[in-house]
């Protein structure tokens, strides 16, 4: 049975954060030491990020809030609202992102209607409320009230993989299942000024965004790029439990992102890939670079540098991850799905169309996945025909449409944050 990701769509808030101007505001915060100022400059300048998005509409220089909660524009001061206040924003703005991404994914899946959805799986680690985003999506999209709902909470940056793995399992158990998977994060809710290096690094990286996919084993014709969900594996590294964590504080959630994380990945990435690649005999003996596509979660530029060097990948193979980091920042669980969409939207090649994907999170946990990129089928042909043609060596043509929101204005004004772009 072949389980296919039939559509993959993304959504981001309207407010763009321009990295150099955000850096300057963070560096000018009261209470920051000289060392803290230097750390801010180093972290922001080496991040590999140009723009990010935030759902906190108040984070703008375009206009002042009458009663500022997150950002005082007049004093250019980052404020410290309570966790309750931040979570209330999550419940409102996060719901919007979940619904927008879900609706776009459903609209982009030919042959699938809202009434076909049998399962909804949501993933998020930046807020909580009940009834949660899974419920809100069912109501907003008018899905059947009998839809089975699952929410994966507080898993961190790798949560998209357990969500996709669950969808694959549901479809294998019930060939008629249609699963809607959504990952949405509002990381910017939890930014704060600090002299703590972990907090500074987090402030330089994290952003808001959502991604959603429709997954099914139904034999329905494809008319665009899609993914065969081949294999998933999970590995816990023997070290790193204290190097990456996500805790709840009184003034928002607190990120622990130690500088040793890239070194842990460098030391253990080969071992983490072994059980995944062993699942496919066709990959036996291949160099890592011989796998055509790599969808790496861009946890930071140094992590991507380590992955590229350790595995001997080409610069072109890291373009989807680096471009996602550059244009969107680290959106936690949603980010690797943005990378996968970048690969889906690339033109077809004569390569092997395999995708090896990885994401890293608290634990330190390494989630890995193998996908096969499939394209449009001939008229009357179904999903099975597309996969059979691919494995027979006939890669179908795939049209490139370009990722949502990838084209940013070239004349961004020199401001901290531009709203409504």
Q: Are residues 161 and 259 in the same domain?
A: no
> Residues 175-191: pLDDT tens digits?
999 999 999 999 999 98
Structural domain tally of the chain? 2
The answer to whether residues 2 and 384 touch, using CB atoms and an 8 Å cutoff, is yes
CA distance 199 to 249: 13
Q: Are residues 286 and 315 in the same domain?
A: yes
Residues in the chain with pLDDT values less than 50: 377-381, 390-421
Q: Are residues 254 and 274 in the same domain?
A: yes
Q: Are residues 158 and 303 in the same domain?
A: no
Q: Which residues form the domain of 313?
A: 228-391
What CATH number did the domain enclosing 113 receive? Answer: 3.40.47.10
Structural domain contains residue 279: yes
* Closest CA relative to residue 360, chosen from 260, 178, 234: 234
* Closest CA relative to residue 12, chosen from 419, 363, 387: 419
Q: Where are the beta strands (DSSP E) in 23-153?
A: 51-54, 71-72, 77-78, 119-124, 148-153
Structural domain contains residue 317: yes
Q: Are residues 68 and 164 in the same domain?
A: yes
Structural domain contains residue 203: yes
Q: How many CA atoms lie within 13 A of 366 on its CB side?
A: 28
Q: Over the Cα atoms of the chain, what is R_g?
A: 21
Task: Name the catalytic one among 157, 171, 187, 356.
Answer: 157
Q: What are phi and psi of 235, to 5 degrees?
A: -135, 135
Q: Are residues 192 and 282 in the same domain?
A: no
Structural domain contains residue 282: yes
The residue among 181, 216, 251 that closes a domain is: 216
Going 420 to 403 to 415 to 200, the CA torsion angle's sign is positive
- pLDDT of 384: 52
83-105: b (≥16 Cβ within 10 Å) or e: bebbbebbbebbbbbbbbbbbbb
DSSP string, 276-294: HHTT-GGGTT--GGGSSEE
Structural domain contains residue 327: yes
Q: Are residues 159 and 286 in the same domain?
A: no
Pairing of strands 178-186, 208-216: antiparallel
Q: What is the pTM of this model?
A: 0.90
Q: Which residues pair with 152 in a beta bridge?
A: 123
Owner of token pair 């590995």 = 235
The residue among 164, 189, 216 that closes a domain is: 216
DSSP string, 152-200: EES--TTTHHHHHHHHHHHHHH-TT-EEEEEEEEEGGGG----S-HHHH
CA distance 73 to 52: 19
Q: Are residues 210 and 232 in the same domain?
A: no
The residue among 182, 216, 250 that closes a domain is: 216
CA distances from 398 to 91, 225, 343, 402 (A): 37, 6, 11, 12
The answer to whether residues 403 and 11 touch, using CB atoms and an 8 Å cutoff, is no
Structural domain contains residue 221: no
CA distance 96 to 335: 18
Q: Which residues pair with 234 in a beta bridge?
A: 367
- pLDDT of 247: 84
Q: Are residues 49 and 164 in the same domain?
A: yes
Q: Are residues 204 and 243 in the same domain?
A: no
The answer to whether residues 190 and 126 touch, using CB atoms and an 8 Å cutoff, is yes
- pLDDT of 376: 52
* Closest CA relative to residue 300, chosen from 254, 343, 331, 255: 331
Q: Are residues 127 and 245 in the same domain?
A: no
The answer to whether residues 316 and 328 touch, using CB atoms and an 8 Å cutoff, is no
Structural domain contains residue 407: no
Q: Are residues 202 and 244 in the same domain?
A: no
Structural domain contains residue 81: yes
Based on the residue annotation, tell me whether 187 is a catalytic residue of this protein. Answer: no
CA distance 190 to 126: 8
């Amino acid at each position: 049975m072949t389980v296919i990701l039939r559509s993959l769509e993304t959504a981001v808030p309207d407010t763009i954060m321009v990295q150099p101007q955000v850096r300057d505001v963070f560096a000018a915060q009261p209470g920051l030491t000289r060392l803290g100022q230097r750390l801010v400059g180093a972290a922001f300048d080496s991040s590999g990020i140009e723009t990010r998005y935030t759902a906190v509409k108040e984070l703008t220089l375009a206009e002042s809030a009458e009663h500022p909660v997150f950002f005082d524009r007049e004093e250019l001061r980052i404020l410290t609202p309570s966790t309750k206040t931040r979570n209330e924003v999550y419940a409102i703005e996060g719901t919007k992102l979940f619904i927008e991404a879900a609706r776009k994914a459903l609209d982009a899946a030919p042959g699938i209607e809202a009434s076909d959805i049998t399962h909804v799986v949501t993933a998020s680690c930046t807020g909580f409320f009940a009834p949660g985003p899974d419920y809100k999506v069912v109501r907003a999209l008018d899905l059947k009230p009998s839809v089975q709902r699952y929410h994966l909470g507080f898993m961190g940056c790798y949560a998209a993989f357990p969500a996709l793995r669950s969808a694959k399992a549901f479809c294998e158990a019930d060939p008629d299942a249609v699963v809607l998977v959504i990952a949405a994060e509002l990381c910017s809710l939890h930014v704060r000024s600090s002299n703590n290096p972990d907090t500074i690094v987090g402030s330089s990286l994290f952003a808001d965004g959502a991604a959603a996919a429709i997954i099914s084993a139904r034999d329905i014709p494809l008319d665009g790029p899609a993914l065969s969900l081949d294999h998933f594996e999970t590995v816990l590294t023997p070290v790193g439990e204290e190097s990456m964590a996500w805790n709840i504080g009184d003034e928002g959630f607190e990120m622990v992102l130690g500088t040793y994380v890239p070194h842990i990945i460098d030391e253990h990435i080969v071992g983490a890939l072994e059980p995944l690649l062993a699942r496919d005999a066709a990959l036996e003996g291949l160099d890592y670079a011989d796998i055509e596509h790599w969808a790496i979660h861009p946890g930071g530029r140094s992590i991507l540098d380590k992955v590229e060097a350790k595995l001997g990948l080409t610069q072109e193979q890291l373009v989807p991850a680096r471009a996602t980091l550059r244009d969107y920042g680290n959106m936690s669980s949603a980010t690797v799905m943005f990378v996968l969409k970048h690969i889906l939207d690339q033109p077809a090649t004569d390569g092997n169309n395999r995708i090896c994907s990885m994401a890293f999170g608290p634990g330190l946990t390494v989630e890995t996945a193998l996908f096969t990129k499939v394209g449009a089928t001939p008229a009357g042909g179904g999903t099975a025909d597309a996969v059979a043609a691919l494995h027979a060596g006939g890669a179908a043509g795939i049209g490139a449409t370009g990722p949502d929101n990838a084209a940013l204005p070239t004349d961004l004004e020199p401001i901290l944050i531009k709203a409504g772009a």
